[in-house]
A and B are shown apart, each in its own frame.
Chain A
Amino acid sequence: MNPERTALPLQLEQPLAPKRTRLAEFWQLFRRNRLSLAGMIIFAFFFAIAAVGLVLTSGSHPIFDPSQVRLQEKLRPPLSAPLLESLKPEERPSLSLYLFGTDDLGRDVFARMLQGAWVSLTVGFVAVGISVAIGIILGGLAGFYGQQHIRLEQMLATAVLLAGAGFLAAGPWTAGLALLIIGLAWLVWSISPWGIGRRDAPHRLLRVLQIETLMVDTLIMRFVDIMLCFPSFFLILTVVALLPASIYNIMIVIGLTSWEGTTRFVRAEFLSLREQDFVGAARALGVGNLRIIFRHMMPNAIAPVLVSATIGIASAILTEAGLSFLGFGVPPPHATWGNILSDGKRFIFDAPWLTFIPGVAILIVVLSFNLFGEGLRDILNPKLRERHS
């Protein structure tokens, strides 16, 4: 025994190993993976460009005007100087140079690429945000409350809710709204601690309503199976084609059709986490269910979600580009990388830059997201970690 130690009990409180925060450790590991590091740097760079591009191309007098048509200057190659004498002063490009050339209407491709960067970024983030939110909620429900049964009254309440929604869509919206509110109130009441079934039901007839039908887990996972039966790009294409063309519809549709994977592994994580001792300890201390879910289990389950979200952003950007390419993307005056490429494909032999610039840009951005995501996966999964001496 070291006498000095016993004399200074305060020092014992300090951890003996060199303390590193989680972030520092993370950074230490991340730095070794050069590809992922490059991915992250490009990702940050792209983020900055998209933000700057939004500022520079919006407003009534943008610095780079993506929709300025100059028919006499069409299909100029990259890095060519504009013919100043043929242009009115307000038509001149700001750099007095067509950095990426011009398209078939003489619009500055550089300005259009800047505008498109922001579109790609928002499509990726919003779509993945929607799908991750749905995935976490459904997966968490299936994983944590999965063994509980749905009672008959809850089915009835859902039926009322759906009927309300149906009425609302079909026309008589006052009746629809009333049914919607009734159904919602009924559901909330039956989940809440005062609902039927938490205590003994007062009446024999009401006991019928307590019949347990399906397990929550069965319901959610069968729903996932159903959604996985649809070929995803075909489903997205169908829905996008039926809805009016708008950038928000595309984000929402991509988000609503890509949550199945997240649901599955959030459920798997929750199933294994809820059996672990720290959750048992929290429950023994009397911590509420919601606090256990959000404070204790979610931080442990979030790592694989983050990884798949990063890769999901990449695939959402690709999907949006594919939709724009087929003509179902963001409507025309707005430039996206997909529709610059799709417009340029007619001039592929005369003006290859119209194909190559947006194509390479999409490739680099998607690649950086994929590399970053894979790097995250390696770091967050201790089993895959290579041993460093």
Chain B
Amino acid sequence: MVAFIGRSLVQKIVTLFFVSVVSFLIIHIAPGEPSQVDPLNPKFTPEMVERFRQAFHLDQPLHVQYAYFYRDLLSGRTVSWKDSQPVLRKIWERFLNSLPLFIVGTLITWTISFPVGIHSAIFRGGAYDRSATFISYVLISVPGFFFAYILIIFVVNQFHVPVIGMETFGMGDSSWLFRVNDRLWHMLLPSILGATGGIAVLSRYVRSQMLEVEGQDFVRTARAKGLPWERVHYHHALRNALLPFVTMFGLILPGLIGGSVIIESIFSWPGLGRMAYEAILARDYPLILTINFIAAVLVLIGTLVSDLLYVIVDPRIRL
């Protein structure tokens, strides 16, 4: 076990090193320079550009820039090119904004997909199963931004509540109950949108996992013994079908950063995805690279955690 952890840690660190090299190369070999972003700005005199290039080591060869950048990143001193704020603090602030969306979205995903998937597996081929299948295909196929606008129109027309942003502007002195209510309304739509794709994929996965277990011999034995069907389905089959999902706790970690760019831009939600989008627009390389680096770290930690969880829950796997 310790040997396994040690080996995968080494492997993951090597992977992380190459990720850092590849992302650095992608950003710096692409045409265009951050010092040319705003050539019309009168403040951007050639001397300014030169000073800027020197301050951020842009006049050095690439491998020196690489060493400088990751030295700064690992010691937490990287600053954004746009406003000279420390990158890690900016990311942390935005992360705190994104976190509630992520938690609520994940909760919605898991609480809906499991009952739906299990139910359609038990009643395979029935009307419920067919319609659940079709709806999950629709949810996978609908473009997120289009669905967002449908929901916005619906909520605004039906309930007359504002949904854009994190809270309604100018409500600082109203009662806390009202403020909490306002916050919840604002959080609802982005969370639902973040959950749709997850619900569709996860419920299908639960269904197929459940079907696989239901076809195995021990379930037939349980049924042949004359056990009541609830006990067969929920006690014998379900417990074994749930096994692979324990590992998914590790795999949802990267979702913290990845998929929320479009949704956060639509709802003007000041979260990580939106900051990443703004950083890309402003060519704020330190910010882009740092977000990418953190995302890669999360992916690697996620796979490690899911491997370990697998070992813990499944006694058949030995290291």
Contact = CB atoms under 8 A, between A and B. Distances in A.
B36 to A, nearest CB: 12
Chain B: interface residue count, which band? 35 or more
Contact of A169 (B18, B29, B254, B258): B29
Contacts of A228: 299
Contacts of B26: 235, 238-239
Nearest to B136: A370
A127 interface: no
A130 interface: no
Nearest to B16: A229
B295 A234 contact: yes
Interface in B10-24: 14-16, 18-19, 22-23
A338 B262 CA distance: 13
Interface string A219-257: 000100110111111110111011110000000000000
Interface in B265-319: 265, 276-277, 280-281, 283, 288, 291-292, 295-296, 299-300
B46 interface: no
A123 interface: no
A341 B145 contact: yes
A77 interface: no
Contacts, number: 121
A322 B141 contact: no
Nearest to A352: B153
Given A222-B15, A355-B146, A238 B257 contact: no
A371 B135 CA distance: 11
A374 B30 contact: no
A12 to B, nearest CB: 40
Contacts of B288: 238
Interface in B126-140: 133-134, 137-138, 140
Contact of A366 (B141, B259, B265, B295): B141
A243 B22 CA distance: 17
Contacts of B14: 222
Contacts of A363: 138, 141-143, 146
Interface in A352-382: 352, 355, 358-359, 362-363, 366-367, 369-371, 374
A371 B133 CA distance: 10
B99 interface: no
A322 B143 contact: yes
Given A326-B277, A362-B146, A370-B140, A230 B23 contact: yes
B32 A242 contact: yes
A225 B22 CA distance: 12
Contacts of A157: none
A341 B145 CA distance: 9
Nearest to B273: A234
B165 interface: no
Contact of A326 (B22, B153, B265): B265
A287 interface: no
B280 A237 contact: yes
B276 A229 contact: no
A243 B277 CA distance: 15
B297 to A, nearest CB: 9
B86 interface: no
B222 to A, nearest CB: 23
Contact of B291 (A234, A243, A322, A326): A234
A355 B296 contact: no
A6 to B, nearest CB: 46
B244 interface: no
A359 B299 contact: no
B307 to A, nearest CB: 13
B137 A231 contact: no
B144 A322 contact: yes
A229 B26 CA distance: 14
A325 interface: yes
A241 B295 contact: no
A112 B305 CA distance: 49
A128 interface: no
B149 A355 contact: yes
Contact of B19 (A229, A244, A342, A374): A229
Given A229-B295, A325-B262, A359-B149, A367 B138 contact: yes
A238 B149 contact: no
B95 to A, nearest CB: 14
Given A226-B15, A229-B19, A237-B277, A341 B292 contact: no
A25 to B, nearest CB: 22
B15 A362 contact: no
**Which residue, of B143, B257, B262, B276, has the highest number of chain A Cβ atoms within 10 A?**
B143
A374 B134 CA distance: 11
A144 to B, nearest CB: 24
Contact of B22 (A226, A234, A241, A374): A226
B261 interface: yes
A348 B153 CA distance: 8
B277 A231 contact: no
Contacts of A355: 146, 149
Nearest to A367: B141
21 contacts: A222-B15, A229-B300, A231-B295, A234-B295, A237-B277, A237-B280, A239-B26, A241-B280, A242-B27, A243-B30, A318-B141, A318-B143, A322-B262, A326-B261, A341-B145, A345-B145, A359-B149, A359-B150, A366-B141, A369-B141, A374-B137
Interchain residue pairs A-B with the least CB separation, the first 8: A359-B146, A242-B30, A231-B258, A229-B296, A367-B141, A366-B141, A241-B280, A229-B19
Interface of A: 35, 169, 222, 225-226, 228-235, 237-239, 241-244, 314, 318, 321-322, 325-326, 338, 341-342, 345, 348-349, 352, 355, 358-359, 362-363, 366-367, 369-371, 374
Given A230-B23, A230-B292, A326-B262, 12 more contacts: A226-B19, A226-B22, A234-B291, A235-B292, A237-B280, A238-B280, A239-B26, A318-B141, A318-B143, A321-B143, A358-B146, A363-B146
